[in-house]
Homo-oligomer: A and B are copies of this chain.
């Protein structure tokens, strides 16, 4: 893990420098929103993955930072629009943008960041890069939509759950990796290898996130505790719990989630049961399978420090506790 930490330590200031510079150029109202969400402490996983993917395929130029940073711009744009949808109070431990700046300003700031990311991508003069970016954005918005559709119609279906987490999270992580590969080379097989690494790692990332939602008090994650249950989102720990119940019991609980009639006491009880049965741990075990797959995807890549760091980053996903 020391290589991984050293890599983040080296790259983070350069990524943050780019984000700071680029958001400073934005127009008044957008600038405030963009800096609020982008300069709050973040892990910068997506930009680092872009850098690692490109470097692992031999790309050594320093012009990579705008492209890497554009993935953080995209991610921030989805956070801005998401928080309005979820009506979230907190994001990255600070008050959500739409509560500070207003819904209108936040929608438009999201649009500006999406457009800025696309413009940065287009500036590399490779249409494949624009194509990957656009597909990533589309899949992400479609994943969100799918998730929302199932809030009003919650169901215990692992297939649907997987579709949702691939769309809302894994595709953008795949995009981060794929775009680095596309910058480095024109070999579609290598791009797919790196892209599939990202896809599997992204699935694991969301699985761990969904486990954490049932494991951590809000002070650690910067999000309210048991937030998914509160918002009516059916994720794997809850699916595992529902599968343990009698049909009738499960149906009743789903109906309460759907109709938003779940009392605080009942929610606390469900949280407690899920913890007691260690369904978060079971969810993490599923994540571990995807991490194994992710690392296997990298086999066509030449051995390099970056390739090792990519594997360490994948392992790190499993161990994070916030």
- Residues of A whose CB lies within 8 Å of any CB of B are 27-30, 81, 84-85, 103-105, 107-112, 114-116, 118-119, 121-131, 133-135, 137-138, 141-142, 144-146, 148-149
| Distance between A260 CB and nearest chain B CB, rounded to angstroms | 15
Q: Quickly give the copy total for this chain.
A: 2
Whether B112 pairs with A142 at a CB distance below 8 angstroms is yes
7 contacts between A and B (CB under 8 A): A81-B111, A85-B107, A111-B137, A112-B142, A114-B114, A115-B134, A122-B133
Using known A-B contacts A107-B81, A144-B108, determine if residue A122 contacts B114 with beta carbons closer than 8 Å. no
7 residue pairs, one from A and one from B, having the closest CB atoms: A119-B134, A122-B130, A130-B130, A118-B134, A122-B131, A115-B138, A115-B137
12 extra interface residue pairs, beta carbon distance < 8 Å, beyond A105-B148, A122-B133 = A29-B149, A85-B108, A112-B141, A116-B138, A118-B118, A118-B133, A119-B134, A119-B138, A121-B130, A122-B128, A123-B127, A127-B127
Which among B110, B121, B127, B142 is the interface contact of A126 at CB below 8 angstroms?
B127
Using known A-B contacts A130-B130, A131-B119, determine if residue A27 contacts B105 with beta carbons closer than 8 Å. no
Interface of A is mostly: helix
